[in-house]
Homo-oligomer: A and B are copies of this chain.
Amino acid sequence: MSTHLSRELATVLDLKLDAAGLITAVTVDAETGEVLMVAHMNRAALEKTLATGQATYWSRSRNKLWIKGEESGHTQQVQSVLIDCDQDAVVVKVRQKGVACHTGYPSCFYRRIKPADAAGGPTLEFIARRPG
């Protein structure tokens, strides 16, 4: 069996890391299913997430492990972690404390892209509100 098929059909964790040693992490609200954010994990971040139950990412800007909410208090308690066919992306289902986005919106996806039309565009339309 090729590595390709092994990755897709096996029960062995065999991450397909990118050139920077990272996979993509999509974090969703465990109750509503809403996509909260997209970030990255290296092997250590994934291991720490699984071991502690606190969502932990790799910060590409700060170049270090980043326990979500360690500064803001807006932590993410992990309910489960799913992995995709080629093992280069995970879905992290969490209970979000506070808001997921540093801008203050509950999710980072607070704008919809309005396709271009006769009036121009595309433009972005705000579809969420900041709580409080």
Interface residues of A (CB under 8 A from B): 8-13, 24, 26, 28, 32-35, 37-38, 46, 50-51, 80-85, 88-91, 101-103, 105, 108-113, 115-116, 121-127
Asked if B109 and A83 make an inter-chain contact with CB atoms under 8 angstroms apart, the answer reads yes
Q: Which residues of B contact A34 (CB under 8 A)?
A: 33
Q: Given A33-B33, A46-B113, 5 other A-B contacts at CB below 8 A?
A: A12-B124, A33-B34, A82-B113, A83-B124, A85-B110
State the majority secondary structure of interface residues on A.
Answer: mixed
The smallest C-beta distance from A35 to any residue of chain B, in angstroms, reads 5
Q: CB-CB < 8 A to A38: which residues of B?
A: 24, 26, 84, 88-89
Report the copy number of this chain in the oligomer.
2
Cα A58 to Cα B46 with chains together (Å): 26
Residues of B within 8 A of A90 (CB): 113
Best-surrounded residue of A8, A51, A82 (most CB of chain B within 10 A): A82
Does the CB pair B51–A113 fall under 8 Å? Answer: no
Q: How far is the CB of A112 from chain B (nearest CB, A)?
A: 5
Name the CB-closest residue of B to A82: B109
Which single residue of chain B is at the shortest CB-CB distance from A38? Answer: B89
